[in-house]
Amino acid sequence: MSTEVVVTSYGRDDLVLSVGGRDPAATLGGPDAVVLEADGALLVWASWDDELPGALVHDPAAVQRWLWEVHSEPLALALAALAAGGGTGTVTVAAEPGPLAGAARLAARGHWAARWWPTSVLDGLPGLDTDVLGLELAVASQECERVLGPDEESPAGLLEAHAAGVQRLREWATSPVHAPYAGAVARLRERVEALADELGVELSAATTSPAARADFALAAAGGDGRAQGSLENDWTAYPPGLLDASESALTWRADLDSPGWRVGGVAAAGAVAAPLVLRGTDGEQPFELTPTGWRGLVPAGPAPGVRVALPGFDPGPLGGAGDRLAARERARGFARAWLADPGAPLAVLVAADDPEDF
Amino acid sequence: MEPTGRHPRARVLHEAWSRLSGVETWTGPHGAPLSRVTKLVLIPLVLRPMSNPLVAGDLLDDTGTALVHTLVAEAGRPLAAASTWYDVLKAARRRLGISGGNPQDRYLQRCFELAVLHGPPQPDSAAELAEEVLRESESQDAGRTVTELHRLLADPTTRARIRGELDRTWRARPTTPYGDLSAPGWTEALDALVESPAAGAALASLRDSGAAAAAGRRLWTGDAAGSVPALAALADVLPAREPALGDGVRTADLPAPLDRSVHQRTFSVLRATSAREELAEVGELVADEVQRSCAPLGLLDEDTRVTLALGALASAALAGDGSTAVHRALRRRWERERIVARSRRMTESVAGTGDAPRAYVHRLWARLHGREVRGAGVLDAGETWDLLEGVCRSVVLDQRERVRRRLRAAGQDPAPAGAGPGATDRTGVGA
């Protein structure tokens, strides 16, 4: 099916491709950014279901090497003509997704999931096996290697980083729980081994990390009449894998014994004791991992307006609280859409179907 | 400027390729040639755009399109033979237990060479010939290895001789800051460098002024570096001192370039060079490095020093400053990285990125130093700009790697007792 793509030139070497009237720059930087660093452009799937990505083009010559295989040749030629003019202008082209559009989208979705997957017990969003996902990402990246820019993660780099997934696949091959996926497991192993041979990557040296899964936190605050409430849990502002990515994972309560607010967070499965802090107008207080979750104490005030942060890893605020919430909700929507997609990668299918957890 | 043509060259190559037979091992998932085959074999060895300008651009007119079809069809037999050689070489590589490097990078061109010289592999001779090719490409490193460098500098007699030479050269170096220290057209050159025909002349006049060498001598006598104060980032302590000969290398935290030992400088080049056969043997490398490390800015050629000084001025772009064409272009790249890093969930606090201009100067020095050691020629204006842009990219990638390492380190902290997997009773808020 053809898609209307609008190409806008803002002058020298600065062009934007937008799909479905959506500004590709709008989702950048947030947890709903499904992006791929292509040669000469940043590709952005502004909507989960878009087959074709929008693009921010910074090198119109470089994109000619692959644009015809993703957005089809008429669009490639229209962009070349517009760029050659050097000025500003707009052209609308009916584009057919080319042979590499699917692999490029799969690679972009895989990167998105590796970075932003909102794993949450409270919301019923199961975590993914990141190494198996990484192997599938390597295979998809190899398929669209011509599209990838020099700064995007390479197929060989992904294979090396996620070689431990091979061991996981071996376990899955013999586990009765994963029997429905035996075919997909075998196919992935075969493709990964062929790719490793092709790229000269050593897979056998990898050690497996223990699968951090069955360890789940229990739900949050009980009500016994004392003042209490929830705080914005902006999980996009600190690294993944530390807190449950639910909006209700962060709560506060008045403390009768000490002058302050007790803040508690539901720990993510396999969370490590990263040096998180609670940052407010009064400075920073430690937020520590305990056997019962993340705990901190902040000085009393009108309300405990603090946010969780990891010092040094500070993206700063992204829009207002409403925009941030909307972006996080969109990320959850992406995750649910993929979990419900029978054509999703193995790591997603297995997570969607894990009876042990959900 | 992009010529307005009729067909993307990549597509024409794909079509021409799909008419060949016997090239399956060099064919990707959708029938196109593997991207490295395009980059390393088809374009440089089959299309040869230097001699065939009609096929040089990314978009081709009808004549260029026809020429691509002819050239690829004519090369059909050697290409088929070469793709078979590739399998033979990979099998030989496994037999010899060689695992370093990407086999495509190392062997694709060798395979085409073998195909042109010997035709398709013959069952009685192919395996032997392949092993010979592999052994040859491994042995070209002989005398140019890190082990060789360590051995050379571990020998007391050799060390004493080299140290004497280093002391003599350092004492004999001219330290008076002669040369033009004012600002002779740095800004003009930085404006012209991004695609202006005037760039060549601007670079030449900078070279003739000796301003970069003068700035380098300033670092030996004290405070600033004349018209290019950003060059002060080359040394942690000013005035810059005589380099040590050095005995151990800790690459994890190399000091600033002018504080590196002769050993460290040579080691870095050996490590960073993929084609070591281009280098002199280690003894000669060290002798050259003694001379170079006593030259202004730790570089022998004024061309190289001018490029370094231009880059040092341009590095302000990574702190949001500067207004020349080069500054604007680098700032755009840096801004794009900020957005991409955020989309990748790999962000540092602003404090962590404050040293970007300094990192830029260090990276650029290492690149230029490597070029001098390899005897790479003088950069023209276009190549100079490519290098300044490429170094920006290196700084970006270094930054990504640093954040990745920090995240990994945070993830490896041992969890406190009871908080690891298996703990139950996790509630949001305790009583």
Residue A274 confidence (pLDDT) = 86
Q: Is A209 on the interface with B (CB under 8 A)?
A: no
**Residue pointed to by tokens 């192919």:** B126
Cα separation values, A106 from A97, A145, A153, Å = 14, 12, 14
What are B287's two structure tokens? 């002798």
- The C-alpha of B1 sits at a distance from chain A's nearest C-alpha, in angstroms, of 6
**Searching chain B, which residue's CA lies closest to the CA of residue A75?**
B8
Asked if A312 lies within 8 A of B351 by C-beta distance, the reply is yes
Residue A225 confidence (pLDDT) = 47
Return the residue in B345, B396, B407 with the most chain A beta carbons within 10 A, the one to mutate for interface testing.
Answer: B345
DSSP character string of B121-151: PPTTTHHHHHHHHHHHHHHTTTT-SHHHHHH
Q: Is A26 on the interface with B (CB under 8 A)?
A: no
- The C-alpha of B377 sits at a distance from chain A's nearest C-alpha, in angstroms, of 25
How many angstroms separate the CA atoms of B379 and B281, rounded? 25
Residues of chain A with Cβ-Cβ distance to B32 below 8 Å are 69, 146
> Between β-strands A307-309 and A293-299, what pairing exists: parallel, antiparallel or unpaired?
unpaired
* DSSP E strand stretches across chain A: 3-10, 15-19, 34-38, 41-45, 54-57, 88-95, 228-230, 250-254, 260-265, 277-280, 283-286, 288-290, 293-299, 307-309
Q: How many residues appear in chain B?
A: 431
- The C-alpha of A291 sits at a distance from chain B's nearest C-alpha, in angstroms, of 4
- The C-alpha of B331 sits at a distance from chain A's nearest C-alpha, in angstroms, of 13
**Closest Cβ–Cβ partner in B343, B352, B426 for A293:** B426
Residue-by-residue pLDDT tens, chain B, 431 positions: 444 458 899 999 999 999 999 999 999 878 899 988 998 999 999 999 888 899 988 889 999 999 999 999 999 999 999 999 999 998 898 888 776 667 888 889 999 999 998 899 998 888 888 988 888 776 666 677 777 888 888 888 999 999 999 999 999 888 776 655 565 688 889 999 887 788 888 898 888 888 888 888 888 887 666 667 888 899 988 888 899 998 765 556 788 999 999 999 998 888 877 677 778 888 889 999 999 999 999 999 999 999 999 999 999 999 888 889 999 999 988 888 888 888 888 877 655 566 889 999 999 999 999 999 988 888 888 899 999 999 998 998 888 888 877 777 766 433 333 333 333 333 333 33
3-class SS of residue B89:
helix
Return the residue in A77, A256, A318 with the most chain B beta carbons within 10 A, the one to mutate for interface testing.
Answer: A77
Orientation of helix B302-314 relative to helix B356-374, angle to 10°: 160
Beta bridge partners of A44: A35, A54
Distance linking the first and last C-alpha atoms of chain A: 37
How many angstroms separate the CA atoms of B32 and B38, rounded? 9
**Closest Cβ–Cβ partner in B343, B406, B410 for A35:** B343
How many angstroms separate the CA atoms of A34 and A107, rounded? 10
Give Dmax over CA atoms of chain A in angstroms: 72
Asked if A221 lies within 8 A of B427 by C-beta distance, the reply is yes
Q: Is A193 on the interface with B (CB under 8 A)?
A: no
Q: Is A227 on the interface with B (CB under 8 A)?
A: no
Residues of chain A with Cβ-Cβ distance to B331 below 8 Å are none
**Closest Cβ–Cβ partner in B1, B8, B90 for A64:** B8
Asked if A220 lies within 8 A of B352 by C-beta distance, the reply is no
Beta bridge partners of A265: A250, A294
Q: Is A74 on the interface with B (CB under 8 A)?
A: no
Residue B421 confidence (pLDDT) = 32
Cβ neighbours of B52 (radius 10 Å): 14
Cβ neighbours of A287 (radius 10 Å): 27
Running along chain A, 358 residues long, what does each successive block of 10 average in pLDDT? 89 88 88 95 95 95 94 94 88 94 97 95 93 96 94 92 92 89 94 90 64 42 60 90 93 78 90 88 89 88 80 74 90 97 95 66
DSSP state of B38: I
How many angstroms separate the CA atoms of A309 and A315, rounded? 10
Q: Is A254 on the interface with B (CB under 8 A)?
A: no
How many angstroms separate the CA atoms of A63 and B50, rounded? 22
Asked if B421 lies within 8 A of A215 by C-beta distance, the reply is yes
Asked if B58 lies within 8 A of A289 by C-beta distance, the reply is no
> Between β-strands A283-286 and A277-280, what pairing exists: parallel, antiparallel or unpaired?
antiparallel
Nearest residue to A27 (alpha-carbon basis) of A42, A10, A7: A42
How many angstroms separate the CA atoms of A110 and A100, rounded? 15
How many angstroms separate the CA atoms of A243 and B87, rounded? 49
Cα radius of gyration (chain B): 26
Question: Is the peptide bond prior to B239 cis by the omega test (within 30 degrees of 0)?
Answer: yes
Cβ neighbours of B276 (radius 10 Å): 15
Residues of chain B with Cβ-Cβ distance to A100 below 8 Å are 30
Nearest residue to A111 (alpha-carbon basis) of A71, A72, A151: A151
Which 319-358 residues of chain A touch chain B by CB within 8 A? none
Task: Give the amino acid at B98.
Answer: I
How many angstroms separate the CA atoms of B296 and A270, rounded? 54
Q: Report ipTM for this prediction.
A: 0.86
Residue A317 confidence (pLDDT) = 65
Asked if B348 lies within 8 A of A312 by C-beta distance, the reply is yes
